[in-house]
Each structure stands twice: as C-alpha cells, then as structure tokens.
Structure 1
Amino acid sequence: MASNHHRNLLLPVDNPTLPVWQTNPHPLHDHRSTEELPETCDVLIIGAGFAGVATVYNLVNGEDIGGTSELSVVILEARGACSGATGRNGGHVRPDHFGTIPTYAKRFGLKAAEEFAEYEIANFHAIKKLVRQQKIDCDLVVTRTCTAFTNQRTLDKYKPNYEMLAGLPYMDDFQFVIGEAAESISGVKGALACSSYTAASVFPYKFIMHLLDSALNTGHVNLQTHTPVIGISKAPDGTLVVKTERGFIHTKKVIHANNGYVAGLLPEYKHSIIPCKGICSHITVPEEKVAPLLTNSYIIATTDNGMDYLIPRPDGSIIVGGASHMFRADKHQWYNNTDDSILIEAVKDYYDGYMQRTFQGWEDSGAKVKELWTGVMGYSYDSLPHVGDVPERLNQMILAGFNGHGMPVIWLAAKGVAEMIRKGTAFEDVGLPKIMKTTMDRILAAKNGPEGGDIL
C-alpha cells in the first residue's frame, strides 16, 4: 500500500474517499504484472491516471506515431490504478472556450488562444473517435454543454470574453442567449443567460482502465500498483535509478505523470504545480419518483467567481461538483492539500437538495446525495499544463498541471510525449500548443511571483 512514511515527498494518502466510479473496482485496480519489480526498462511512467495511461497506450499501441523498436515500459502507481484525480473527476469531456481561453488571449495574443481552443476541440474529437473505433465501454455521450449564468456580475464579466472570441471559426458551434428565454432553455432557475456548444460526458474510470488493459495486453508493459516512488538518481552508466519502497528500477527515461504530486520528486515545480482538493457528488432519484430528463451537461455560474459542474448519467443519476466559492477562503481545506480521505468541511452539505433548488421541475424529485468524495488536482501557477522535457534534468519528462481540466487536454498531449520518445521529435514539432511547453522561465515566474498565481 502507499505509505505515509515519506510525507515530504507529497505521496497520496492510503485511505481516500470512494468515488462512485470505483464502487465496482476493475480487475486491474490493484494489479501487479510481476511479483517482483523488473530490474530495468526503457521508459518508466509515474502515475496510472489519464496522463500516465494515455502515454503508455500511445507508446505501445500508437499506430500513427511510428518508431521501429519495441519499448519496455513500467508504470508505477502509489495506490490503485486510476485512483487519483482522473478516477475522481466529474466525467466532463468539455472544451473550455471561456474559462482560460480569454486569459490566454490577453497574455499571448488571440492566435495563441485560438490554437489552444482548437487543440481542446481536437482532443474531444480524438477521444470520441478512439472510443468508437476501439468500442470502449465507458458511457460516452456526445451532447451540448450549457453554461447558465445566475449572477449578473459574472455575466457582465463574461460578455466581453464572448465578444473577443466571437469571430473565431470554432464559435460557429456556439449559441448564446440573454434574457427571459435563458431560464426555460437551460432549465436552471434564475438563469439570466445561457450558452451552449458540443461536448461529451464519460465514465472516466472505465475509459482509462480499458486503455490500461489494452496496453498491458501488448506484453511490453509492466504495471505495479501500490508502489510509490520515493527517489530518482543517476547511475554511473547514465541511466536513471528509480527508488521505490519495494526496490529499484534502472530506466533510460522517466515520465512524471502524477499531476498534483509532481513536486515531491521535482521540487523545482513546488510553486508551479500546486495540489488542490476539490469535491464531487453522485445524486440519485428514488425509483418511485419522476424527475425531468436532463440531456445537457452544465456549468452553472452561481456567484462571483463561483461555479458548479454537472453531468447527467445514462442511468438517470447526476454527478455534481465544484462549489469552490464556498471554501476558497479556507485555504487549509484545499490549497496545497493532498488528503483526499477527508471531505471539505465548508461544503460537505452543499449538495443536499441541490437539484431541487437549482433546476425547474425537480422540486418533488426526491433527489438526494448517494456518494460524496474528494480528489486532488494539480493546479498550475499560470493556468497552463506543463508538458515536455524537464529543464536541466536529462531524460526526465513531465505531463502534469491540468487545473481540474485534464479530460479535454491530456489525450493529444500524451500522444505528443509518446512521439517525442519514440521518434525523438522536438516538442515544437508534435503539434501541441506552444504555450503548454514546460520551461525554466515558467518555473522561475512561479517561484518569484505572488503565492498561488492564477489559483488564488
């Protein structure tokens, strides 16, 4: 099991809250491919969430990446497979046109912002194509995602962003309604405006575990769960020595795909990627009750800088998370906090009666919280993921810092990292947005800037 003996290394706790996705664990959840650790491998990946699993999948299954040699890959996970942020998220595969994209436009120019927005849309289409081609049983539902504004100040802040981006090609898919019609269109009580565009929802744990199973079936991947990494050093022959509580592995390359925990082994990222807790719920309706059908997924802007996210499940239940406005001021509960065994006190009762008070027609639905859990995300200082070669650390790469928004970002980033490894391609030549590249300048900006950056 993951140990707490090395808490300075930012390791996951042993006893996390149980998300609804993992109430029926996959056979590979606690899997170890071999009883003992392999002595060597070509590539070692730390973290068996979306970033780590998508990378290993593309390394051994990526038909369009190329490369002639077969790689031996070891993937190490401190707890069970997909037990971190990916296995605890809200199931949204939702490109975020109006969260960080306007920020990128102001900082890097409209062209860079458009590149990132188009990249997220491409991720959405790539995941949809992958699920359908591989016939992955993961409840993928392609739908519209609706942002409902119930707060005038938030709406006033949002409108200039819409106007800034309105001329971009991807906005052809976008609808924006202001006024009385917003409440009836969205179904959200008190909605002053609503927007919508194409997105999807998914059963994230099933999706990742299918990819992991597929990678293991190639015979080139060794999975070792409950094996936290506690150190990395250089061997005299130039290889890297990865230290775990169960022994050592020599490898040619290490990929840090452990998101909010990366600073434990890469202390230079202490200010760049901060572990931040979030909370999520599973709401069900009693069999004898009838509730209105929800087909959209949602972002609901409730207060100044406050929002909830929601997806309807195929079984009629609802996943709702967010509510950071309720606990943002209590930093110790969430900021730089890796204890996902404890609920966030300030918001643990927030979801009681949520559907009844938020959506029209749900007043007598009897909807109630069935499961409630927390998760640890990796929030970056500048709201951008860190992808590529770790500066000044030869043969170490990073794929982390997804700001609670990894589902629409990670797949193509992992594919790019796999191509860099298989073909020796430079970051600039794998088709990823340039602003995602991890650099010493970004690391130093986080170290020398005000605490928290975009997070606080």
Structure 2
Amino acid sequence: MAHHPQCFPVDNPTGSFWQAEEHVLSHHRSTEELLPHSDIVIIGAGYAGVGTAYHLAQEADDRIGSITILEARAACSGATGRNGGHLRPDLYGHIPTYIGRAGSRAGAEIAEFEIAHIRALKKFIEEEKIDCDLTVSRSIDVWCNEEAAKKAKEVYDFMVAKGFEYMDDVIFYTGENVEGVSTHYNGQNYQTNLYQICGVKGAIACASFTAATMWPYKFVMHLLQKLVAGNRINLQTQTPVNSIETDPTGGFLVQTPRGQIHTYKVIHANNAYVSGLLPEYNRNIVPCKGICCRITVPEGVKPPLLNNSYIHRTDDNTLSYLIPRADGSIVVGGAAAKFKSFKEQWYNNVDDSILIDAAKNYYDGYMQRTFNGWENTGAKVDSIWSGVMGYSYDSNPHIGHIPRKDNQFIIAGFNGHGMPVIWLAARELARMISHGIPFEDTTMPGLFKTSQFRIDRAMNGREEDGDILSTGKFLATKP
C-alpha cells in the first residue's frame, strides 16, 4: 500500500518551545543502514510509538525479539513535542456524550482510565528520576459565558447524580452559590468574587479537579535514551515509510527511501498520519492543526502567581488551555473557535511548517486581557508554533489489531487529548502483542478498540456528521 501524500509529515515544522534545545538523539540512527530484518517495526517516535516500544522492551527478550522504530522526521518532533504540556483527564466534559452513546459504565471507564494516568506517571517518573517538570496540581475550568456556564453546571449535576466516586474530586463554583469564595460589599450589596478562585476576568463559573503538567518531549526522549542505551531498539530517524507490502514468504516488507526492512509485526503509532499508509482510516482519523505558544514577562517583573492549569472559555466561547511553568512563563494554546470556519487552514491539513492565519495573533495580549493583575506585566508571546493532531470520527482513539490485517496494530487518533491516554494504552497494547491477549482482556476502555464497525461507520458516514465538524468537539478539546 503506497502512502497518501496529503497525509505525510512536512520537512520543516515550526519550532516549538519544548524542543528549543535539541536532544542528543533527535536525529539518531542506531545503525548506518536499515537492518534487513526486525521482528517488530514501530512507525512513529512520539509518545505512542516510544511508549509502546518501552513497554514491549519490559517483556522477556525471547518473547519479543528485535524492535525498530522508524520516524519520518526528528524523534518526538510531532504532536507530542508540540502540545500544551497538560496531563489533564476529562472527568465530566465529554463523558456524558460517551454515556449517551454506550452507557454509564463505558463513560466512567474512560474517565477512570484517564485519572489513573496521573498516579501511574507520577510513580514512574519518580522511580525513574525523569527530569520532565511533572507537577501535580489542580486544573480549573472557567466559563465566562452565561449559557455555557449553565450547561456546564447541568453536566456537572448529571455526573454527580450518576454516583461516580471520582466526581468527589470535582468542585464546581458558581457566582450565586460558592462556598469558600470571598464576598465583598460594594456599597449596595454583597458580591461573590470568583476571581479569588480562578483570577480570570468575567468568570461566571469554574470547576476544579486534580490534574498535572509536564514537559512531554523530555519524558519521551528520556525513554528513548534508555531504550537506545540498552540496545533494546534500533532507532532510525529521518526515515519515512512509503509503503508496507505483504512478503509472499511471510511477514511484511516495510519500504522507505533508504531501503526496505522485513518484519513480522507492524505497529502504526503515527497518529494524525495513519491514513497515509492505512487508507481505511481516511475518514476515521483526520489530521487537524492546532496552535500553541509560550508567553514570558520581562526580567524582574513579578506577575500574580498562577498555581493551577486552566481551560478558559471566553464570553464568545473561544477555548484556551493554559499551564503555568516553574520558570515563570505560560504555555497556552487553542483558540480553535477563531479558525474553525477557515476549514482549509486546519482540517485535513498536515502542514505544521506554518501557523494558522486566522489565530496566529490571538495570544498577543492574552494574559493582560484574561487575568486580573497581569495588565501591566508586559507579558508577550515569546514563541509560537503549530502542530498536527489526529481527530477521530467518534472522538475515541483507535487501538488494537487492525481489522483484516493480521499482525498489524494501531495506536492513534487521540483528539488532542493523548497525554492522559497514551501511557497506559501503550502498556496494554504491548501486552496484547507480546502475550497474544485480546483487547477485551486489557484494562483499556471498550470504546477505544479499533473495529471494522467503527471504520465502516466513518467511511460510509458524512464527513460533517463526525464529531470533529459536527458537535463542537474540536472547540472543546485541547492539544
């Protein structure tokens, strides 16, 4: 199967803050030439590819054999190295959608799986002493639009009524009934001050729950370094895969501009780009561009401290996701509402060498107009970049055996929400591959399983009926 040129990484992506200091393995090749054979070939050296390789490498050598990772560009140069640094589970935002489609258990399964990532990653990062700025704090959802705030409260009440234990961690604040939020007398009446909680101008409601922030590029490159140093994988960067052919004598021939490699198993971990080699995922996982930036303040300026990460929705419902960093800078991105109508600028577009025109100036002055006390800080955009995410037709990732393709696997389609999904999904996929267990025997949410039914539904459905274009899902998620 030949690749689909429209779904192939471009050579010169915009520079992301996370990758400003290039890692020693960025352009690494374990061997000068491609090995003639590798038992497993993984396509993509981002979070999903490296995470799967790491978990496979934990298995007994005789069970797994040799592993090669092929990466079209530099290691971790795609979405993982260009995101917002937010490890933030979705506790209630889209869970009702999944409950509506598949029942309460299915919705809770996803929320619980995502929450488990905070504990699992914290434990792993501490044990391995990985320097990747992991911080566990609270994340605050803020609504500045009356109607959106009302809807959010209804969703929150619906989820609490379901009796999910994890909802105990969510605190919802609204203007008229907020315990612990300061009230002050303005000469005529007492006013409840939401700013004390979230610091956002014009906040009508906010919710808070446990989340984390981190430096994903450093995390993935640490894993990669460990794998390369232990000779557990052969890494080949700047090696795009052109096609995968079935070898008549068994296995596959993976074709690249640098020659071919024979393998028994292929893992497609190239997220937004999977349909380039797997045309059946053409409608299922669509590459969608996003925008992200880093904001700094001049030396010596001390802006109000932000201890939490944020999802901020303005009065006109433009969503941004934001994390404060230990160095005093802010990483913020989103603004999809500003470019959603310019479909050609973001939808089915893999060109991360250019910014999104309709939103590239949105974050100029963002902190000043959004947060109290930031008005005179001189905060300005220090660097800005774009990235390509893989959005799925039904908002769930595709993980597992690729239907009708024996010994080919997929872990892709993270909807700009891969941080609280990929680590444990990669672990479970590795178990499927090394132990031959079915998807149903893993701890992954049932809705994540790739299937012929899901593939057909997207291929036969109308493009505009998919979640990306129809439900505003794109507006509500974060890379």
**TM-score, scaled relative to structure 2:** 0.92
**1:204-219 alignment, distance < 5 Å:** 204-219=216-231
Contact 2:390 2:412 in 1 (8 A): yes
CA displacement at 1:220 relative to structure 2: 2.4
Question: Of 426, 443, 448, which residue of structure 1 is paired with 2:460?
Answer: 448
Alignment match, 1:95: 89
Write the deviation string for residues 223-278 of structure 1: whole angstroms up to 9, x where unpaired. 00000000001111221110001000000100000000000000000000000000
Contact 1:50 1:208 in 2 (8 A): yes
Looking at structure 2, the residues matched to 315 and 335 of structure 1 have their Cα atoms a distance apart, in angstroms, of 34
The structure 1 segments of at least 4 consecutive aligned residues displaced by more than 4 Å after TM superposition are none
Contact 2:64 2:434 in 1 (8 A): no
Partner SS state of residue 339, structure 1: coil
CA displacement at 1:143 relative to structure 2: 0.5
Question: Of 32, 36, 48, which residue of structure 1 is paired with 2:33?
Answer: 36
CA displacement at 1:304 relative to structure 2: 5.4
Amino acid at match of 1:115: E
Amino acid at match of 1:244: T
CA displacement at 1:98 relative to structure 2: 2.6
Alignment match, 1:171: 167
Looking at structure 1, the residues matched to 358 and 58 of structure 2 have their Cα atoms a distance apart, in angstroms, of 44
Write the deviation string for residues 194-237 of structure 1: whole angstroms up to 9, x where unpaired. 11111100011101000111112221200000000000011112
**1:207-246 alignment, distance < 5 Å:** 207-246=219-258
Contact 1:67 1:422 in 2 (8 A): no
Contact 1:154 1:304 in 2 (8 A): no
Over the aligned positions, Cα root-mean-square deviation in angstroms equals: 1.3
Amino acid at match of 1:397: F
Question: Of 406, 412, 432, which residue of structure 2 is paired with 1:420?
Answer: 432
Question: Of 102, 106, 110, which residue of structure 2 is paired with 1:112?
Answer: 106
Asked if 1:433 corresponds to 2:445, the answer is yes
State the aligned residue count. Answer: 449
Write the deviation string for residues 63-92 of structure 1: whole angstroms up to 9, x where unpaired. xxx675352000000000000000000000
Looking at structure 2, the residues matched to 384 and 305 of structure 1 have their Cα atoms a distance apart, in angstroms, of 23
**1:3-402 alignment, distance < 5 Å:** 8=5, 10-61=7-58, 68-166=62-160, 167-179=163-175, 180-303=192-315, 306-402=318-414
Looking at structure 1, the residues matched to 48 and 319 of structure 2 have their Cα atoms a distance apart, in angstroms, of 25
Contact 1:183 1:193 in 2 (8 A): no
Greater Cα shift, 266-275 or 183-192: 183-192
Contact 1:60 1:218 in 2 (8 A): no
**TM-score, scaled relative to structure 1:** 0.96
Amino acid at match of 2:159: L
Write the deviation string for residues 12-64 of structure 1: whole angstroms up to 9, x where unpaired. 000100000111000000100000001101110000000000000001136xx
Looking at structure 2, the residues matched to 417 and 409 of structure 1 have their Cα atoms a distance apart, in angstroms, of 12
| Structure 1 residues 6 and 397: CA distance shift in structure 2, 3 A | closer
Looking at structure 2, the residues matched to 74 and 433 of structure 1 have their Cα atoms a distance apart, in angstroms, of 28
CA displacement at 1:295 relative to structure 2: 0.7
Looking at structure 2, the residues matched to 58 and 75 of structure 1 have their Cα atoms a distance apart, in angstroms, of 14
The gaps in structure 1 that reach 5 residues or longer are: none
Amino acid at match of 2:52: T
